[in-house]
Amino acid sequence: MFRNVYTPPGGPPQVRAPQLYTRVGAASLHALAEAHYALLATSTIAPLFPSEEEELKQAAHKQALFWIGITGGPPLYMEKFGHPRMRARHLPFAIDETARAEWLRCMREALGDGSRWDFMESDVQEWMSWLEAFSEWMVNQAPR
Ligand code: HEM
């Protein structure tokens, strides 16, 4: 169905992800992605995500591969799926400011004080401010 696509006036993100991979490692980023997706699955934006458990796990896995590459680890996401084109890959899903806020809330909740995922206090700050900026570019739906 046709819908009007909204383009955020700020343009593509000008922010660099915190380079925490070498310290935090793949296992923590995978576990954080799983915790984030478990919360997304029970959030107000759950209908956007796979309802089947195995598919949700796969989606979290993909997310972790992206995080690993962008935080200074091996480019596993790029090798498997090609150029991230993050805004384009989100276009099939109607994402407005409310959805963005909910996605970020789940992230903040999953992250907690960061210690479970081997994040230092400064990592928590940097991770959230990176995602707050980066997620703006994923918004493709004007407020209703
Ligand atoms: C603005 C709030 C956001 C919403 C509502 C949202 C929603 C979604 C949805 C519904 C999918 C498809 C299902 C899935 O594979 O998980 C997806 C995929 C994905 N998202 Fe997001 N997302 C948001 C922000 C972000 C941000 C900030 C990042 C990166 C830091 C990100 C990274 C990804 C990746 C890597 C995928 C997999 C893309 C692929 O199919 O290869 N998303 N997102």
Place of tokens 């004080």: 113
pLDDT, one tens digit per residue, over 67-111 is 999 999 999 999 999 999 999 999 999 999 999 999 999 999 999
User: Which amino acid residue places its CA nearest to atom 17 of ligand 1?
Assistant: 90
Tally of helices (H runs) and strands (E runs) in the chain: 6, 0
Confidence of residue 1 (pLDDT cuts 50, 70, 90): low
Average pLDDT over residues 54-75: 98
Could you say which DSSP state residue 112 is in? T
Q: Which residues contact 24 (CB under 8 A, 6 or more apart)?
A: 71, 117, 118, 119, 123
Q: What is the pLDDT of residue 2?
A: 60
Nearest C-alpha neighbor of 26 from the set 66, 86, 82? 66
* Joined tokens for residue 22: 């070498």
**Is any atom of ligand 1 closer than 6 Å to the C-beta of 131?**
yes
CA of 94 to the centre of ligand 1 (A): 11
For the chain, give every domain's residue range.
21-136
Share of the chain above pLDDT 70, in %: 99
Q: pTM of the full predicted structure?
A: 0.97
Whose tokens are 């703006």? That residue is: 136
Which atom of ligand 1 lies nearest, measured to the CA of 37?
16
Give residue-wise pLDDT tens across range 118-138. Answer: 999 999 999 999 999 999 999
**What homologous superfamily does CATH list for 21-136?**
Globins (1.10.490.10)
What is the average per-residue pLDDT within 25-53? 98
Tens of pLDDT along 28-37?
999 999 999 9
- Whole-angstrom CA distances from 76 to 20, 24, 69, 81, 123 are 16, 16, 6, 8, 22
How sure is the predictor about 113, in pLDDT bands with cuts at 50, 70 and 90? Answer: very high
What is the average pLDDT across 46-60?
A: 98
Measured in Å, residue 73 CA sits from the centre of ligand 1 at 19
